[in-house]
A and B are shown apart, each in its own frame.
Chain A
Amino acid sequence: MLAVSGLTFAFKRKPILADVSFTLADGQITGLVAPNGTGKTTLLRLLCGLLPISQAHVLVNGIDQQQKHTQFLKQLFFLESSSNLYPDLTVQDHLRYVKRVWQSPVDIGETVASLGMQSYAKTRIKRLSLGMKQHALLAMYIVSNAQTMLIDEPLNGLDPSSIQQFEAMFRQLREEGKTLLVSSHQMDSVGRVCDQVFFLKNQKLDVLPNDGQDMMAEYTKRFLTEAS
C-alpha cells in the first residue's frame, strides 16, 4: 500500500502539487492522467524520492520514504523511461542486475518468454527499437517483484498487439497483489485496465473510480473543454 499525505511541490514559481494526499491499495491499478507538462512525472519522482517532499509523508507498506530510504526503495520500482537504460548492456544484463538488487525470486527466463523477448534478450540496448526497449523496461518491473510500481507512459512506441500484451501484464501484476500507478495518455487503455484514475489538474488530484465510463470523454470534460 502506498500512502501519501500533504504533498506540495513547486518548480520555483510554478506550483505543481498543492497539499495532495491519497492512498493506493494493494492489488489496484491507478491511472495518472494529465496533459503534458502538468506534473505527472514530477509526482512519480516525488513518490520515490528523486525530488524533495519536504514536510509531506510518503509510505510504502508503512515504510517512510525519508526515514528508511533504502528499505523504502526496495518496496518500489520506478524507471522513468527506456532511454535511461544502459546502451552498452543487454536486456539480460539489466534483468539480472534488477533481480539481484531487489533480491527477487522471479525467473528471468520465464519473464523474457512471457513478453516474447527471447530473440533480443542478449542484444545490447542501443540496438533495440523503442518498442523493444519498452518491453525490456516492463520486464525489469516484473523481475523486480517490487510491491509498488510507478510506471511512466509505458505504452509509448508500442504497436496494438504489444499494448494488449502490456495490459495483460498489468492485470496479472494486479492479480499478484501489486500496486500500480501508471501515467498514460492512452485513454482507451486507461479505461480498460485501471481501477481508478487520477486526473491531475490545478495542482490537485481528481480521483475517478473506473465504472466503465468513457475515459476520453472524462479527459475532454476536464482538460479540452477548458482549453477550447
Chain B
Amino acid sequence: MFAQLKFDLKKNLFSSTNAVVYVAFVLLLLTTFFLALDQTDSTARQVDGAYQAALQSVTGTIKTLEKDHAKTAKQTAQLNQKYTQRDYLQEIMTLNASVSSPVPMNTPTQLDGALLKYARYNLKKTRQGQTNGLVLINHPDRPTDSTVLGQQKEVTFYRYLALHHLRELPLTQTDVPSDAYLPFQFLRHVSPLLILGVFALQLGQLFTTEKRTGTIRFMNNLPVNKLGLLTARMGTFLVLTLPLFGFALLTVYLIVGLKFGWGNWQYPLVYSPDGRHVAIMTMAKFMGLLILILLAAVLFMMMLSALVSLLSGNFGVNLAVSAAVLLLGTNQVAGSSMGRGVVRWLPSGYFDFSGVITHQTAWPILSIAGGIVVLLAWAAALYGLCALIVSRRQQL
C-alpha cells in the first residue's frame, strides 16, 4: 500500500491543480484582508455609534422626564434608572474615546470593566423582570439579545476580557490580528461550503484524471486489488491537499500577522451549548474543533468523490454531485421544514462548521462530537459501497 501511495503521489505531485487549490484557499481566506487594506475599517465608528445611540436614547428619555415637574413615583424611579444608565454609558463612551485615541489615557481593561458593569446591571434588571426601561447596546457584530441568556453572554464575555486584559474585537472588524483573523473568517466571512468546494475541485480532478488522460488503461491491467488502488488515491488526496490547506492557513496567518499583529489565541468566543447555559471557548479551541470537523467533512467528501468516480469518469459529473451535496448544507435546504426532520443524521447538517461548534445552526443537530461521528459514519458507509462495487467488478 505504501509503495502504491508513493507512486500515486509522484504522479500527482506536479499537477498544476495543486497550485490552483493552494491559491484558491489563500484568496478565499484573504478576501477580508484585502478589504481591510483597501478601505478604512468602519467597525470602530459603528461601535462608537452604538454606544452613542444608547446614550442618546437615555438622555432623550431623561430630558422628557425632567420636563415633567409633577412626576409620579413611577416616573421618578424611571428617571433614576435613566441617570444610572447614563452614568454607565458616559463612562463607556469616555473610556472608548480614550482607548481609541492616538495617545490612550486608559487601558482596554478599564473599558472592559465599564462594559462589564453595564452588562451586569442589565442582567440584574433582566433577571428581576424589569426589562421595560433597559437600553441595550446594539453591537454591530452580534444580534441584540434581551433574554437572560443573552445578558449572561454579555457579562461572561466582558468578564473574560477584563480578566485577561484583552480588548474587544468585533467580528465585523477586518483589520484584526492573526490569531483572531482566521477564526473570524470561519465565523463570519467565508462560507465553509466554499472551502469544501475547493476540496471537491481537487477531489474531482484526482479521481477522474486517469480516465481523462487514458492512463486508467494501465491501472486496470495491474495485478493488484483495485480497492487498494482506490484507497491509495484517497491517501494521495489526503497527503497532498491537507498540507496544501495547512500551508494556506499558515500563509494567511503570516501575511495578516505581519500587517496587523499576532494577537492572542486566548481571545474568547461566548456561546450557549444547550440554550440554557453560557460557555466560553478560546480562539485556539475553536480552531482546533473547526479543523477536526473540517477533516471529518473532507473525509466524507473524499469518499463521495471516489464513489462517483467509480460510476462516471467525467470531471463535471463528479463536481456536480459534490456541489449538489454541498447545497444540501445551505440554510435554504437544511433549514427547510422538510430538511429539519432528517438533517441531524445527514452530513450536510454539519457543513456549517462554526454554527455546529457554537450550536447556532438554523436546524437541529447533535453535539459536535455527534456531528463528527455522523460524518465519519457516512464516509465509512460510502467506502463500503466503493469496496462492494470494486469487488463485484473484479468478479465479473
B218, A52: Cβ atoms closer than 8 Å: no
Q: How many residues of A contact B (CB 8 A)?
A: 28
Cross-chain pair count, CB within 8 angstroms: 53
CB neighbors of A among B54-81 (8 A): none
A80, B394: Cβ atoms closer than 8 Å: no
B220, A86: Cβ atoms closer than 8 Å: no
A66, B396: Cβ atoms closer than 8 Å: yes
Q: Across the interface, which residues of A come within 8 angstroms of B218, CB to CB?
A: 79, 84-86
Q: How many residues of B contact A (CB 8 A)?
A: 21
- Contact of B222 (CB < 8 Å), options: A52, A88, A101: A101
CB neighbors of A among B218-269 (8 A): 218, 220-225
Does B11 reach chain A (CB closer than 8 Å)? yes
A88, B11: Cβ atoms closer than 8 Å: yes
How far, in angstroms, from A121 to B391 measured CA to CA in the complex? Answer: 36
Does A223 reach chain B (CB closer than 8 Å)? no
Q: What is the minimal beta-carbon distance from A183 to any residue of chain B, in angstroms?
A: 15
Q: Across the interface, which residues of B come within 8 angstroms of A89, CB to CB?
A: 10-11
Q: Contacts A79-B217, A84-B215, A85-B215 given; indicate if A70 touches B223 (C-beta within 8 A).
A: yes
How far, in angstroms, from A79 to B219 measured CA to CA in the complex? Answer: 9
Does A22 reach chain B (CB closer than 8 Å)? no
Q: Across the interface, which residues of B come within 8 angstroms of A97, CB to CB?
A: 7
A74, B11: Cβ atoms closer than 8 Å: no
B313-343 CB mask vs A (1 if < 8 Å, else 0) is: 0000000000000000000000000000000
Does B3 reach chain A (CB closer than 8 Å)? yes
Kindly list 11 other residue pairs between chains A and B, CB separation below 8 angstroms, not including A78-B221, A80-B217, A83-B214: A50-B220, A70-B225, A72-B223, A73-B221, A74-B223, A76-B221, A86-B215, A89-B10, A89-B11, A93-B7, A93-B10
Q: 3 closest Cβ contacts across the A-B interface?
A: A73-B223, A74-B223, A88-B14
| Complex A-B: 15 CB contacts under 8 Å | A66-B396, A69-B394, A69-B395, A70-B225, A73-B223, A78-B221, A84-B215, A86-B11, A87-B213, A88-B13, A88-B14, A93-B10, A97-B7, A101-B223, A102-B223
